[in-house]
């Protein structure tokens, strides 16, 4: 009888411990879900998943793979909150949904299993410790694949195939909804960052990116240059051929400028017939070469207006920020100086006869 009572007590204590453990796990999952729902952009959501999730769940590594066959997500991120690869080494974009599906069963349930380097190595790169067990969460809405969240730990028994997956399955569903909502939020925001006429970014976008890129330039000790580009005699196009023709000129100039820039560079219509460019990790000397290439390509381009082949030219001012200038200066002041210097150089280019590139010297 005493032995039976002892066994019952042990079983009771075990059930109580399991209940408390489940309560703790539930609270941790609920807190994470609330944090995910508070995210206002895809970049913030990615940061929560890759950094905060790893810390709160005490995992060795968390990676996120997003299904992006048309590169729309990457373009959206580049437009709204540019993600630097060095900041998120565990984020990847996939062009093949089949790669995700082959890791899961037909129901897409979370997969908890030992780590297999032949199957999972590409999901868990850059880990400081050997991964022993993993949990893979398929992210999807109905039948649409969004990607997968991949949790890895160096403990062999952290994720076992016979473990209950209810919490993880619910978390995966919440993450999928949050990703969709964040993408929608970014798309709505992007509408306000685009120039309707030319299809490139507008001044608001440029002004938002400027302090970000200056901070990044300081952090990684890389140069940053700015171009101010103005269409020569633009008023004459409008006066002689009408505003519709002037619009065509702006569209074609914007297109040529964009063709001569890298994906990482920042291009915006700054106002009227003026365009602004940030050349990432580019010093003033190389920025001048880029500006000269843009100027020549625009000069060689002719636009057909009322049966006439009209030549277009631009004047370009260049300024460059290179460490060290004055590290005590606030980012806002450096940005203002970078713009003012490029704008002043542009003014000199127009005074000197237009259709030329002039570099200005950034004051300390």
Active site residues: 273
Beta-sheet pairing, 201-202 with 266-271 = parallel
**CA-CA distance, 156 to 134, in Å (whole number)?**
9
Contact between 122 and 56 under an 8 Å Cβ cutoff? The reply is no
Please, what's the largest Cα pairwise distance for the chain?
Answer: 108
Residue 200 DSSP symbol: S
Would you give the distance in Å from CA 268 to the centre of its chain? Answer: 17
The residue behind tokens 């381009």 is: 301
**CA-CA distance, 345 to 317, in Å (whole number)?**
4
CA angle 259, 265, 271 (to 5 degrees): 80
> Tokens representing 69?
């066959």
């Amino acid at each position: 009888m005493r032995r039976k009572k002892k066994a019952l007590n042990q079983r009771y204590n075990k059930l109580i411990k399991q209940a408390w453990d489940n309560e703790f796990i539930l609270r941790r999952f609920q807190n994470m879900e609330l944090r995910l729902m508070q995210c206002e952009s895809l970049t913030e959501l990615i940061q929560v998943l890759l950094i905060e999730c790893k810390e709160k769940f005490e995992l060795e590594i968390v990676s996120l793979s997003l299904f992006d066959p048309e590169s729309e997500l990457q373009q959206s991120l580049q437009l709204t909150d540019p993600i630097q690869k060095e900041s998120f080494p565990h984020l990847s974009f996939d062009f093949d949904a089949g790669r995700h599906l082959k890791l899961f069963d037909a129901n897409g349930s979370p997969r908890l299993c030992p780590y297999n380097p032949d199957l999972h190595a590409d999901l868990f790169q850059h880990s400081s410790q050997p991964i022993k067990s993993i949990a893979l969460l398929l992210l999807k809405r109905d039948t649409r694949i969004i990607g997968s969240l991949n949790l890895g730990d160096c403990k062999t028994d952290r994720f076992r195939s016979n473990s209950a997956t209810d919490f993880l399955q619910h978390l995966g569903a919440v993450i999928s909804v949050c990703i969709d909502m964040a993408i929608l939020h970014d798309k709505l925001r992007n509408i306000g960052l685009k120039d309707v006429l030319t299809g490139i970014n507008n001044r608001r976008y440029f002004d938002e990116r400027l302090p970000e890129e200056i901070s990044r330039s300081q952090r990684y000790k890389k140069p940053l240059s700015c171009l101010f580009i103005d269409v020569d005699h633009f008023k004459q196009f409008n006066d002689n051929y009408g505003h519709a023709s002037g619009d065509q000129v702006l569209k074609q100039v914007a297109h040529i400028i964009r063709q001569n820039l890298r994906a990482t560079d920042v291009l915006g219509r700054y106002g009227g017939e003026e365009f602004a460019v940030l050349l990432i990790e580019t010093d003033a000397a190389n920025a001048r070469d880029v500006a000269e290439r843009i100027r020549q390509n625009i000069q060689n381009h002719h636009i057909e207006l009322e049966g006439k082949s009209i030549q277009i030219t631009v004047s370009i001012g260049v300024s460059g920020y290179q460490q060290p200038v004055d590290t005590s200066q606030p980012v806002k002041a450096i940005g203002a100086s970078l713009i003012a210097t490029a704008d002043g150089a542009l003014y000199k280019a127009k005074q000197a006869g237009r259709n030329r590139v002039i570099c200005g010297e950034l004051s300390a």
